[in-house]
Amino acid sequence: MKINQFATVKNEFKTELRELINSHFVANESVLEKSPMVVLKSLLQRCYPEMPSVNGADFKIDQLMATENLTATQLLKNEHALTVTQFYNLALQLLQFEVGVDFNLSDPISALNEINLPHLTVADFTTQDLLHAWYLLLTTHTKNGQSFLDHLATKGYFAKLLQTTQLPKPFLFNGKAQAVFDTNNLIREVVYVESDQDTDHDGQLDLLKVEILRPEETETGLKVPTLYTASPYNQGTNDEAGEKLTHNVDVPLTEKPVISPTLTDLQASEAKPATLPAKRDVKGNASHAEQSFSRESSYTLNDYFLARGFAVVYAAGIGTMESDGFRTTGDPEETTSTVAVIEWLAGNRQAFTNKKDHIGIEAWWSSHHVAITGRSYLGTLAIAAATSGVEGLDTIISEAAISSWYDYYRENGLVIAPGGFQGEDADVLAEETFSREKQAADYLPIKPAWQAALSQMGQEQDRSTGNYNSFWDDRNYRKQLASIKADILMVHGLNDWNVKPKNVWKMWQGLKDLPVTQKIILHQGQHIYINNFQSLDYTDMVNLWLCNKLLGVQNNADEILPDVLVQDNTKVETWNAYQDWGGSAAPIELNLSADKLTSDAAPSAISTFTDQLSEPNFTHYKSHYANWRHDLVSTDSTPMAANRLIFKTDPLTKEVVLGGGATVSLRVASSQSVGMLSFRLIDYGVAKRLSVSPQLLSRNALDEGYHWREDDLKEFQLASATPYKLISIGHLNLQNQKNSYQTEKLVPNQFVDVSIDLQPTVFRVQPGHQIGLVVYATDMEMTVRGNQDIQYQLDLSGCHLTLPLQEK
Amino acid sequence: MKINQFATVKNEFKTELRELINSHFVANESVLEKSPMVVLKSLLQRCYPEMPSVNGADFKIDQLMATENLTATQLLKNEHALTVTQFYNLALQLLQFEVGVDFNLSDPISALNEINLPHLTVADFTTQDLLHAWYLLLTTHTKNGQSFLDHLATKGYFAKLLQTTQLPKPFLFNGKAQAVFDTNNLIREVVYVESDQDTDHDGQLDLLKVEILRPEETETGLKVPTLYTASPYNQGTNDEAGEKLTHNVDVPLTEKPVISPTLTDLQASEAKPATLPAKRDVKGNASHAEQSFSRESSYTLNDYFLARGFAVVYAAGIGTMESDGFRTTGDPEETTSTVAVIEWLAGNRQAFTNKKDHIGIEAWWSSHHVAITGRSYLGTLAIAAATSGVEGLDTIISEAAISSWYDYYRENGLVIAPGGFQGEDADVLAEETFSREKQAADYLPIKPAWQAALSQMGQEQDRSTGNYNSFWDDRNYRKQLASIKADILMVHGLNDWNVKPKNVWKMWQGLKDLPVTQKIILHQGQHIYINNFQSLDYTDMVNLWLCNKLLGVQNNADEILPDVLVQDNTKVETWNAYQDWGGSAAPIELNLSADKLTSDAAPSAISTFTDQLSEPNFTHYKSHYANWRHDLVSTDSTPMAANRLIFKTDPLTKEVVLGGGATVSLRVASSQSVGMLSFRLIDYGVAKRLSVSPQLLSRNALDEGYHWREDDLKEFQLASATPYKLISIGHLNLQNQKNSYQTEKLVPNQFVDVSIDLQPTVFRVQPGHQIGLVVYATDMEMTVRGNQDIQYQLDLSGCHLTLPLQEK
């Protein structure tokens, strides 16, 4: 087992001692005059706040061993020196590691090194050593994914202390906010923010429902920062209606007209109507809401911060249940609605207590410092809001976020489904999230207008060409990167084929020269949250980051947190820090030759494959993607053998660490006037690899506070050995030889040169493995599937592959 | 969608009105003098307790439609008649069903019928009709798996009421306890019960740790009943040590000596030592515990009852962390330790506040009425405790429980692994659950004695013969069925190949003539809990049952709850009630003929198969059970084709409903002096069948109280079509021709007659399908796997299959 902590602040002893005193582990500085053993006893007795009596704590202490022959109780009775072995034997047990399973009493230091836990190396402890070691211990993670101090808090450490003592709120320890707020007494309110838009064209500015949870302490004057999650899903989804609208993908690829617009042509986006409805008159003001809710659709990371003195607000935006407006899937109107909530939280926008009485309500409890959190569409709206440069938005944490919707639903002139959602498109998602539909009295009057809007979106998204057009240009947040003022923490899965890694790669590249701090964490998962892993202190990292950005705590978050943190794909529980993603100067250049990837000169040879599949294979693959995926890349004889070309390197003699996106350049001909190519970069080699999804280690093991909401502890584990692993993918319409918005005529059997950047990654290919490139046409999971009779030829003299490397 | 409710009490209107008054939906009987519309408005306003204002409730009401053209707000404004359509349109929306998705405003009654929700049929409502309908509505399930009243409670209905009003506690509605207890203020205590046993032979009676959660109201005099879960897992498990001890199953089946003991011979079980250590002197008494805990390992069903005025206790028993003793896996010592906790709860046994000071503590808050709950080993200990006849144990709810450990780890003279746990045995489970190992100071002194006890268990369980012996006889609870005084609710999965259905079938049969009430629920799952299904009001059923058994509420639970409730295997969301399991007089008798199951006369013919598999198939199957299972029963050509015989009926002309256990009689010869047979009864026929596991419908949708712990809503759904489905299994050692404890010599190639009962079931085989019997030897998942070179011959003239049917 290995635990990786990146959010620990290194302090001087003076600071450590002050924090130990403030958190009541020791009474005052006179503790330094006591013997280590006396101090240790009093520290250990504080480790069982769940016990109503000192007797109870002593019973727990009595279960601990200090050495192979000495119990903790026996140790504490004598006045001998405290050795490093004795202390760390006890410390490991406190951290929930087991004797004989996780470590041996004869040598706790080896275990600390192996698990990667910080520790002192002195032989005998002075009292100051002990206090320093105790401070480190409080910031060290237990076996169950929490810092030891968080673990104590979930057992009631602060709750018990607060029965007799005042603590400053928020309460900081090691630069991070601690769980001192009582989540039983949270205040839950609903307000309606008035936005400068009328997306349902009803002649009234859209009102947007906002659900607020804030600490009770705000009622007595505490101003708190806010974590805002903008989730179009959180008022419910129209799954059946969405499914009905899902597009048929069993259609042929069709020839596109030749067009050559410029990017400027596409930017002639529909402006907002010049005259908006007037703002509502304010007919009175209320200090408290008249509406509330019982259970919000929550994010456990937000729950964690509710116990630590942050307010949390959820808003679903235009077109969702109990808000006004229509869903627009990523356009500027949606951004406007997302930003309106921040403006209210920053004191710059009007909100009302309900939708009809015009009674105003302010976020008087807000410190005007806001962060956005969330994954997928939620993280996407974080990016959207950031590109507005709105005042009050100090940081965003965007996880698995879309940075341009073209990169979500399209690629190089092809309609490309997000992994797992074949046939979905912008209109489907709009319908899915249009939760006003769930309330009949609200929906029925606007149904015709909504259906018309939906139909228009269906046309503008233009599935017939798959080209980048003004609809998609409107939904490209990266055009406004220069407006961003918020610092950004990005998280993305290197195996996320839903929101593909290109979305975050282009953010990373685009932000480099801007005056904001950016950090990125790349994990080996798919489209997941990572705040419940055993091996990484992600939650602590976010805590450090938010205390710095929202509370102004001088904790050096920018310096302490690594710029680029990447989960290793070859080893469990391993996270590597880098200064940049990719960034190595000399890529590997390879040519395609027969079935090889080689540095030899490109041969004059033609390789061919056909796209069409016979039955029952075609029909079978349509509903058995795993079989299709296997048969596509397996070098065994499969029904797909004639339907793709596979090129492989020789077995590698040393490890290669890919970093960034591979580029494939091809000279290719299609037998028809249409054509598409798909690519898979594969790591061939039998190996045990990380499980596809993190595995459940312990249900409900993570209490986000004290008797508060819980999360499961998870971790990627090694799965059974597999013969290969997907590294990256890419897709291209052969009519889009220059870019995604201009098209060319494709002459049957005439060669054209194309080039495509595959999805970026960081990937270690082990010695003995082979890197493979699979070239094919129809992607059962992502492209249209007309099963057309098309033959493709590659002129290998014009084919090569560039593999960029990750800097050390 | 279909919702099945079995726990609704039918009351007279007088009772309904009284309960509506008691629960403050109406003020008093004068409500009958008001118009339906006035009453309806006031009822609707009570449906949004989460709203801090009437305005807020009115806003919610304003989202509802009463008819296609009339909103609820408009309806309430007029003084016209209230129609059945108007009422049920509103009711369905209150129950979270969606207009246009789940029902149409033009015809709510069709939807009510389809979803199977109770309703009135009058045209216009009188006020009395309305109140009756409202009462029904409160007991009706929402779309999200809770009664409407429970749904209101999770939104704060009772919490809000209690701010201004006293309610009787416990509070009953429709014969069931309601969520009126504040779970934020639960009292958590630990006590140590002194048991009459010394299983670790340390010269002291074993002390057993008990974790208690009880309502704060007990502090002011309320006596409460207790739900007790005895879970050997809940103090942690030794997974690595258990894995190390797991037995190698890649060993040959070996010849057993011929023995003929009688059952009486086997019952010479080791008696307890005549002289036990003395009871501890009581040196004082405490009213409150000195130890507590922060988070117990809980069962959500228990959490639900904590909000309803029941205490919950968890105890892990002998040999678990912070208790004394050794684990014994199912023997009478374990039963004694399980029962000791009940004796303390019933006021008949001593407990202490800690393990050393001899300070006594009573369960003074206990009403002396106890039920046991839990699944698997937990449910097993419920059966164990019930067979003691202990005073105070009024009922057990045993889910997926073992009734004889021989039926868990052995079958007909073979070592048979529980599904999913190849190589596990009684000793492995003892080691897994011996959580004293987790605390070094407790474990190290007793380690040698424990290892010796474990080694002895390893011998006594006797993997070499697989015979029923005194070790297993000690672990057969069914010998003591006559002692049972508790009423029993049993739950079991018909696809549970871990704890196989024979365990519950034999309980059901064995209890029939005893003076206790028994009920059984058979679901289509594997080894799962069923208290979070959308389609079944299981939690309500348990509520009705426990109020009757523990609180003495006269709610007719025995009459209302069906005796036998079976989930249909052919349709989603369908539960069928019967009076008995099996029970039909005339079974189907079939002979085996070539590859057929037929009612024709048995032919004189020999069919043969071999057990040995070639490589790489054998090795592959050992780690790919799904492939093995498929190749075994598929009638396509597979690598298993020569390794089994398949006999099939002609396609059925009408549905057959199997009920109970099929019997296979065979005349068989082995080519060696050892032999085993395995059987699978298969439903052949392409069909969409229920998913193997229930699917997640909505995360955290079930709040067990008000801002309390949550559970996910789940349901079995139809999966992709499959060509067959396993109905039942069975295994037999050919040396055990009479029974599981006597053995015969097996002469190579000499035919013997054997008979075996397969696992019992209730299974609908659809018209057009074929019933198949697969006969083979090695079961990769359950038997030893020596891959021996053995040929088997069946003399079909002596082979037949009896299929018992389920009564209508």
Tell me the pLDDT tens digit for each residue of B46-74.
Answer: 999 999 999 999 999 999 999 999 999 99
The closest alpha carbon to B353, from B194, B185, B187, belongs to B194
Closest-CA residue in chain A for B292? A51
Digit-coded pLDDT (tens) for A54-67: 999 999 999 999 99
DSSP B772-789: EEEEES--TTTS------
Choose from B45, B54, B63 for mutation: most chain A CBs within 10 A: B63
Closest-CA residue in chain A for B159? A294
How many Cβ atoms from other residues are within 10 Å of residue A77's Cβ? 11
Q: Give how far B734 is from chain A: nearest CA, Å.
A: 36
Choose from A244, A707, A720 for mutation: most chain B CBs within 10 A: A707
Subunit contact B63:A441, Cβ cutoff 8 A: yes
pLDDT, position A272: 62
Backbone angles phi, psi at A72, to 5 degrees: -60, -40
The closest alpha carbon to B802, from B732, B730, B751, belongs to B730
User: In chain A, what residues touch B154 (CB-CB under 8 Å)?
Assistant: 294-295
- Whether the complex's predicted ipTM surpasses the cut of 0.90: yes
Considering only residues 218 to 257 of chain A, which have any Cβ-Cβ distance to chain B shorter than 8 Å? 238, 240-241
Tokens of B423: 């190589």
A355 close to B59: Cβ distance less than 8 angstroms: yes
Write out the E strands in B579-694.
588-593, 596-598, 606-610, 645-648, 656-660, 663-670, 676-690
B764: enclosing H helix or E strand: strand B761-765
Instruction: Using DSSP bridges, classify how beta strands A718-733 and A676-690 pair: parallel, antiparallel or unpaired.
Output: antiparallel
**Residue from the list B51, B188, B623 with its beta carbon closest to the beta carbon of A291:** B51
The closest alpha carbon to B290, from B367, B201, B355, belongs to B355
**B630 contacts chain A (CB < 8 A):** no
Report how far residue B549's alpha carbon sits from residue B551's, in angstroms, rounded to the nearest whole number. 6
Interface size, chain A vs chain B, as Cβ–Cβ contacts under 8 Å: 127
For residue B423, the SS3 value is coil
Average pLDDT for residues B562-583, to the nearest whole number?
97
Subunit contact A98:B59, Cβ cutoff 8 A: no
Report how far residue A232's alpha carbon sits from residue A320's, in angstroms, rounded to the nearest whole number. 7
As a whole number of Å, the end-to-end CA separation of chain B is 24
For residue B1, the SS3 value is coil
Helix, strand, coil in percent for chain A, rounding step 5:
30, 25, 45
A353 close to A344: Cβ distance less than 8 angstroms: no
Subunit contact B51:A290, Cβ cutoff 8 A: yes
Closest-CA residue in chain B for A703? B295
**A681 contacts chain B (CB < 8 A):** no
B339 close to B210: Cβ distance less than 8 angstroms: no
Q: Give how far B218 is from chain A: nearest CA, Å.
A: 18
Catalytic residue status for A358: no
Digit-coded pLDDT (tens) for B648-678: 999 999 999 999 999 999 999 999 999 999 9
Q: Name the residue type at position B284.
A: G
Instruction: Using DSSP bridges, classify how beta strands A606-610 and A718-733 pair: parallel, antiparallel or unpaired.
Output: unpaired
As a whole number of Å, the end-to-end CA separation of chain A is 24
Catalytic residue status for A580: no
Q: Give how far B774 is from chain A: nearest CA, Å.
A: 28
pLDDT, position B585: 77
The closest alpha carbon to B55, from B37, B73, B80, B68, belongs to B73
Write out the E strands in A168-295.
172-173, 176-177, 187-194, 207-214, 224-230, 284-286
Subunit contact A293:B50, Cβ cutoff 8 A: yes
Subunit contact B291:A53, Cβ cutoff 8 A: yes
Digit-coded pLDDT (tens) for A721-739: 999 999 999 999 999 999 9
Closest-CA residue in chain B for A90? B440
Considering only residues 326 to 355 of chain A, which have any Cβ-Cβ distance to chain B shorter than 8 Å? 354-355
Average pLDDT, chain B: 97
Where does residue A673 rank: exposed (0-12), middle (13-18), buried (19+ CB within 10 A)?
middle
Report how far residue B56's alpha carbon sits from residue B44's, in angstroms, rounded to the nearest whole number. 12
Report how far residue A311's alpha carbon sits from residue A373's, in angstroms, rounded to the nearest whole number. 12
Cis previous bond, A170, omega within 30: yes
User: In chain A, what residues touch B155 (CB-CB under 8 Å)?
Assistant: 294
Percent of chain A predicted with pLDDT > 90: 97
The closest alpha carbon to B506, from B474, B479, B475, B542, belongs to B479
On the question of pLDDT at B283 being above 60, the answer is: yes
The closest alpha carbon to A413, from A674, A673, A729, belongs to A674
pLDDT, position A19: 98
Average pLDDT, chain A: 97
Report how far residue A777's alpha carbon sits from residue A787's, in angstroms, rounded to the nearest whole number. 10
Report how far residue B480's alpha carbon sits from residue B403's, in angstroms, rounded to the nearest whole number. 11
Digit-coded pLDDT (tens) for A439-467: 999 999 999 999 999 999 999 999 999 99
**Chain length of chain A:** 808
Write out the E strands in A195-341.
207-214, 224-230, 284-286, 311-315
Average pLDDT for residues B531-559, to the nearest whole number?
98
Subunit contact B105:A65, Cβ cutoff 8 A: no
Complete domains list, chain A, with CATH = 13-170 (no CATH), 184-236+285-578 (3.40.50.1820)
**A154 contacts chain B (CB < 8 A):** yes
Average pLDDT for residues A230-255, to the nearest whole number?
97
**B460 contacts chain A (CB < 8 A):** no
Closest-CA residue in chain A for B61? A441
- Enter the DSSP assignment of A4: B
Considering only residues 685 to 714 of chain B, which have any Cβ-Cβ distance to chain A shorter than 8 Å? 700, 703, 707, 709
For residue A698, the SS3 value is strand
A709 close to A697: Cβ distance less than 8 angstroms: no
Subunit contact B59:A291, Cβ cutoff 8 A: yes
Report how far residue A510's alpha carbon sits from residue A136's, in angstroms, rounded to the nearest whole number. 38
pLDDT, position A381: 98
Report how far residue A652's alpha carbon sits from residue A659's, in angstroms, rounded to the nearest whole number. 17
pLDDT, position A79: 78
Subunit contact B100:A437, Cβ cutoff 8 A: yes
Q: Which of A200, A324, A496, A540 is catalytic?
A: A496
**B164 contacts chain A (CB < 8 A):** no
Considering only residues 552 to 611 of chain A, which have any Cβ-Cβ distance to chain B shorter than 8 Å? none
**A291 contacts chain B (CB < 8 A):** yes
For residue A592, the SS3 value is strand
B476 close to B404: Cβ distance less than 8 angstroms: yes
Subunit contact A294:B155, Cβ cutoff 8 A: yes
**Residue from the list A55, A295, A437 with its beta carbon closest to the beta carbon of B354:** A55
Closest-CA residue in chain B for A298? B700
Subunit contact B71:A238, Cβ cutoff 8 A: no
On the question of pLDDT at B39 being above 60, the answer is: yes
Positions of B annotated as catalytic residues are 376, 496, 527
Written in H, E and C, the secondary structure of A634-697 is CCCCCCCHHHCEEEECCCCCCCEEEEECCEEEEEEEECCCCCEEEEEEEEEEEEEEECCCCEEE
User: In chain A, what residues touch B292 (CB-CB under 8 Å)?
Assistant: 50-52, 56
Q: Which of A119, A492, A527, A800 is catalytic?
A: A527
Q: Name the residue type at position A186.
A: L
Q: Name the residue type at position A116.
A: N
Where does residue B163 rank: exposed (0-12), middle (13-18), buried (19+ CB within 10 A)?
exposed
Subunit contact A55:B98, Cβ cutoff 8 A: no
User: In chain B, what residues touch A68 (CB-CB under 8 Å)?
Assistant: 444
On the question of pLDDT at B78 being above 90, the answer is: no
Q: Give how far B417 is from chain A: nearest CA, Å.
A: 22
Percent of chain A predicted with pLDDT > 70: 99
pLDDT, position B52: 95
Tokens of B359: 């300070």
Subunit contact B55:A154, Cβ cutoff 8 A: no
Digit-coded pLDDT (tens) for B92-134: 999 999 999 999 999 999 999 999 999 999 989 999 999 999 9
Q: Give how far B20 is from chain A: nearest CA, Å.
A: 23
Digit-coded pLDDT (tens) for A466-516: 999 999 999 999 999 999 999 999 999 999 999 999 999 999 999 999 999
Report how far residue B671's alpha carbon sits from residue B353's, in angstroms, rounded to the nearest whole number. 64
Subunit contact B100:A441, Cβ cutoff 8 A: no
Digit-coded pLDDT (tens) for A271-308: 566 789 999 999 999 999 999 999 999 999 999 999 99
Considering only residues 399 to 438 of chain B, which have any Cβ-Cβ distance to chain A shorter than 8 Å? 437-438
Digit-coded pLDDT (tens) for A525-580: 999 999 999 999 999 999 999 999 999 999 999 999 999 999 999 999 999 999 99
